[in-house]
Amino acid sequence: MDEQRQLIGFMQSRKVSGAPEMIRSLIDTLDLHDRSWVAHVDDEDIPPETLQATAFIVTAGGDGTILRVNRLVSPYSVPIVGINMGRVGFMAELTVENAAERLPQYLAGDVRTEERLMLQAEVTAQSNGETRIVDHALNEAIVRGTLPRLLDVEVTIDGVRLATYRADGVIVSTPTGSTGYALSAGGPVLQPESKVLLIQPLAAHISLQTGLVVPDNCTVELAVVGSREALISVDNLTNATLHPDDKVVIRKSPHIASFLRADPPSAFYSTLTQRLGVSHRTSHDEQ
């Protein structure tokens, strides 16, 4: 463990029943009173010096809790250890039942660091180049209509026009986000440490309907054609109306989401099938 980073942070969601009690129990059981701090995910006034002195942060909640915590801590390169108390929990490695037993392995440093790509979304006026929104996402940025109507969204990759999607919207997703909204839109699942972005239309009508995977060094631009109202959603944490003159520029973020993992990278595949409720069959099952 880094000598400059000795604190252990615990962050919880106010919406998750039982999270405060579980965190108190972990601090008691592991005797972390003198080297831990506790906060809620919507606490934005945690001192920078506290984050800079933190070895890792334990989250108690679901994937939404991790998204909120990551937004706060990724600029400080603080890794996350997730305890799943939500419905799906693709990003969390621990459970309520095994957290007390397994956390000592993380405290001892007998784990690996998993780094995940994030994306940066900028909203810029096409007329004067003025940027009015810059945000970072671990999951995705989405351009969609404010009403349930089809939009025409022009997609450009590295200055080359790809297509104008006539769809409910367009998702640009990281590999982490591929198991979220993009998956429900028919997109592929991407290995979480891969260095790619996914462009996935939402209910595309007639036009190119499949998703497209591009390298993470590409710049993707989205522009709504016509005067229909649209908005941008970044990890569903920032939601803003787009002006008719706006374009959304998406590229790899300078920030990286870090997770501490005791399980090997291949554990992602078994976690994936478990979370999605995919049953396992062997040739013996058919006999």
Same domain, 15 and 78: yes
Residue 285 lies in a domain: no
The CATH code of the domain that includes 64 is: 3.40.50.10330
Question: Residue type at 265?
Answer: P
- Rounded CA-CA distance 86/84 in Å is 6
Residue 34 lies in a domain: yes
Number of Cβ within 10 Å of residue 144's Cβ equals 20
The CATH code of the domain that includes 210 is: 2.60.200.30
Same domain, 242 and 269: no
Domain of 169, in residue numbers: 118-253
Same domain, 139 and 83: no
What pLDDT is recorded for position 7? Answer: 97
> pLDDT tens across 184-240, in order?
999 999 999 999 999 999 988 866 778 999 999 999 999 999 878 899 999 999 999
Same domain, 81 and 96: yes
User: What average pLDDT does the segment 126-148 reach?
Assistant: 92
Please name which of 85, 73, 97, 87 lies closest in space to residue 260, comparing C-alpha atoms. 73
Same domain, 73 and 166: no
Same domain, 129 and 241: yes
Residue 2 lies in a domain: no
Q: Cβ distance 205 to 150 under 8 Å? A: yes
Confidence of residue 280 (pLDDT cuts 50, 70, 90): low
> pLDDT tens across 236-251, in order?
999 999 998 999 999 9
Residue 12 lies in a domain: yes
Q: What's the mean pLDDT when you consider all of the chain? A: 92
What is the DSSP code (8-state) at residue 137?
A: E
Please name which of 232, 115, 105, 229 lies closest in space to residue 174, comparing C-alpha atoms. 115
pTM of the full predicted structure? 0.91
Please report, rounded to a whole number, the percentage of residues in the chain having pLDDT higher than 90: 78
Q: In three state form, how does the secondary structure of 174-237 look?
A: CCHHHHCHHHHCCCCCCCCCCCEEEEEEECCCCCCCCCEEEECCCCEEEEEECCCCEEEEECCC
> pLDDT tens across 105-116, in order?
999 999 999 999
- Select the more confidently predicted residue: 141 or 203: 141
> pLDDT tens across 21-74, in order?
999 999 999 999 999 999 999 998 999 999 999 999 999 999 999 999 999 999
Judge whether residue 287 has pLDDT over 50: no
**Number of domains comprising the chain:** 2
Residue 49 lies in a domain: yes
Q: Cβ distance 48 to 72 under 8 Å? A: no
- Rounded CA-CA distance 134/181 in Å is 21
What pLDDT is recorded for position 206? Answer: 66
Judge whether residue 4 has pLDDT over 90: no
Query: What is the per-residue burial (b if ≥16 Cβ within 10 Å, else e) of 222-248?
Result: bbbeeeeebebbbbeebeeebeeebbb
Cα dihedral 185/189/193/198 (nearest 10): -40
What pLDDT is recorded for position 55? Answer: 98
What is the DSSP code (8-state) at residue 5?
A: -
Which residues are part of the catalytic machinery? 63
Residue 284 lies in a domain: no
What pLDDT is recorded for position 108? Answer: 96
Same domain, 103 and 133: no
Retrieve residue 183's tokens. Answer: 């998956």
Same domain, 87 and 34: yes
Confidence of residue 128 (pLDDT cuts 50, 70, 90): confident
Judge whether residue 141 has pLDDT over 90: yes
Retrieve residue 182's tokens. Answer: 């993009």
